Amino acid sequence: MKTRTLSFLMILFLAASPLLKAESLKLNLEQAVALGLKNSTAIQSKVLAMGAAQADLAAAKSAYYPNITAGATWTHMFEEIEPTAGTYYAASDPLSLSLSLNQTIYTAGQIKNSVRLAEEALKISREELQEEKRNLIILIERAFYGYILAVKSVEINKETQQNKIEALEVTRKKYEAGIASDFEVLQAEADVESFRPTVIGTRNQVKFALLSVKNLLGLEGEEELDVELVGSLEADALILDKETLLALALSNKFDLKSRKSAITLAEIQSELAISANKPGIGAFLSYSVQSGVDPATGENRYWGEDSWDGTLTGGFRIQLPVSAWFPWSRERAERLKSGINVEDRKLNLSSLESTVRLNIENSLLKIEEEKQKITSGEKSVDLAGRLYDSAVKQYARGLISSLELKDAQLGSNSAQLGYLQMIFNYKMAFIDLKEAVGVSSF
C-alpha cells in the first residue's frame, strides 16, 4: 500500500512539474528597458569592440617608449677547428648573448598622429556602444506601446461584444413580449457572432506584440516564461523648443558625430601623409658578449677568467624618404587624396545637418497634428458614448430599430479605438522626434 501511494505521488509530481517550472514576469517600461540592455548580445559585442580599441590605443602609445630586445645564440661547428701557429682562435660551440635598445626620437608627428587615430577609434567605439543602447531603448519603447495598444484594443472590443450580448438579451425579451420579430432576434444573434472574429483578431495582436517585446528583451527562447507588460497610453505634456532640440541634435545625433569623426580621421590621415615625407631620427644601443676559447686546447670556455668578451655599440639613425618629394611619388598622391577626403566629408556633414533640421521640424509638426486630433477624439468618444446610451434606452422602448442600435454600438467602438490610436500615434511621434534628435529621452 505504501509503495502504491509513493508511486502515485511521484507520478503526480512529474505531471505537475511543468506547471511548477512556469514563471511569470511583470514589467513596466523602465524594467523592460533595463532587462533588454542587460540581455542584448549586440551591446555585449560593442563592449568587446571598445575593449579592443583600448588595446589598440595602448599599442599605439607604446611607440613612445624604448624597444628592448634580448637574445642568445649557440652555434655548433661540425668541422673540427684547426689551430693556427699552435693556438686556437675560435671555439667549436660558441655562445653569444645580446641586449639591444632602440628609441625613436623624432618622427615628425607620426607617432602622435597614430595615437590620435587610436584615440579617435576608441571614441567612436564608445559612441557606437551608446548608440546601440539608444536604438534598443527606442525599439523596446515602440514595441512596448504597441503591446499596450493591442491590450487596450482587446478591452474595448470585449466591452463592445458584451454590449452586443446585452442587446441580444433585450431583443429576446422583446420577442417574448411580442413586440419584436424572430427576424430581429436572428439579426442580433448574427451581430454577436460576426463580432467574435474581431475580438479573436485583437487577442492575437496582443500575442504577436508580446513576441516582439520578448525578442527585444532577449527572452525569445523562454517559452515557459509568462511575461506581462504593465503601462498605459497617455498623451505626454512636454514643452519643446525647436532651437533647443536642434542644438541637442547637433551635439548628440550619432550620424552627425560619425561624420565629424570621419572628418577628424581624414585630417589625421592627411597629417600622417605629410609627416611621412619628413625625416625620422632614432637612437640605438647594443651590448653583446661571446664565450671564449682555450687557446691551448681549443675547448669552449664558458666559466672563469677571460671567458667572455663583450662589445658595446651605440649610435643614431636618420632616415629621409627622398622619393616622397618626387611629383610622381605615391606619397604625393596620398597627400592630395587626404585633402580631398577632408573636404568631401565636410560637405556631407553640412548636408546631413540640413536633413536633421528638417526631420526635427517635421516631427514637431506631426506632434502638434496628433495633439489636435486627440482633442477632437476626446469629444468624439464622449458624443459617441452618449449617443449609444441613448440608443440603448430608445431600443428598449421600441423607438429605434436594431440596425440603429448596431450603428450606435459601432460608432462608440470606432470612436474609442480611433482615440486610442490617436494617443498611440502621438507617442510614436514623440519617439520619432527622439530619433531625429538622437536621444532616448527628453
Pull the grid cell for residue 43: 551591446
* Contacts with 137 (C-beta within 8 Å, 6 or more apart), sequence order: 33, 36, 37, 440, 441
Contact 256, 352 (CB under 8 A): yes
Q: Give the pLDDT of residue 5.
A: 45
Domain ranges of the chain: 40-74+109-278+328-437, 279-320
Q: Do 242 and 360 meet the contact criterion of CB atoms below 8 Å apart?
A: yes
Q: What is the pLDDT of residue 429?
A: 92
- Three-state secondary structure along the chain? CHHHHHHHHHHHHHHHHHHHHCEEEEECHHHHHHHHHHHCHHHHHHHHHHHHHHHHHHHHHHHHCCEEEEEEEECCCCCCCCCECCECCCCCCCEEEEEEEEEEEECCCHHHHHHHHHHHHHHHHHHHHHHHHHHHHHHHHHHHHHHHHHHHHHHHHHHHHHHHHHHHHHHHHHHHCCCCCHHHHHHHHHHHHHHHHHHHHHHHHHHHHHHHHHHHCCCCCCCCEEEEECCCCCCCCCCCCHHHHHHHHHHHCHHHHHHHHHHHHHHHHHHHHHHCCCCEEEEEEEEEEEEEECCCCCCEECCCCCCEEEEEEEEEEEECCHHHHCCCCHHHHHHHHHHHHHHHHHHHHHHHHHHHHHHHHHHHHHHHHHHHHHHHHHHHHHHHHHHHHHHHHHHHCCCCCHHHHHHHHHHHHHHHHHHHHHHHHHHHHHHHHHHHHCCCCC
What is the mean pLDDT of each successive set of 10 residues along the chain, which is 442 residues long? 44 40 78 93 94 94 92 86 77 88 87 91 94 95 94 93 90 85 87 90 91 88 79 79 87 87 84 80 90 80 80 87 70 72 78 87 90 91 92 86 87 93 93 90 80
Q: Which CATH superfamily is domain 40-74+109-278+328-437 in?
A: Outer membrane efflux proteins (OEP) (1.20.1600.10)
Residue bearing cell 498623451: 235
Q: How far apart are CA 432 and CA 412, in angstroms?
A: 30
Q: Residue 272's pLDDT is what?
A: 81
Helix axis angle for 110-176 and 330-396, nearest 10°, is 10
C-alpha cell at 412: 462608440
Query: Tell me, what's the pLDDT at 15?
Result: 41
Q: Determine the pLDDT at residue 10.
A: 44
Report the C-alpha gap between 388 and 396 in whole angstroms. Answer: 12
Q: Which residues pair with 97 in a beta bridge?
A: 72, 289
Longest dimension (CA), the chain: 146
Strand partners, 228: 26
Residue 258 in contact with residue 125, Cβ under 8 Å? no
pTM reported for the whole predicted model: 0.79
Q: What are phi and psi of 135, to 5 degrees?
A: -60, -40
| 321: amino acid identity, one letter | P
- Model pLDDT, residue 49: 94
Residues 299, 302, 303: CA angle, nearest 5 degrees: 115
Burial 53-88 (b: 16+ CB within 10 A, else e): beebbeebeeeeeeeeeeeeeeeeeeeeeeeeeeeb
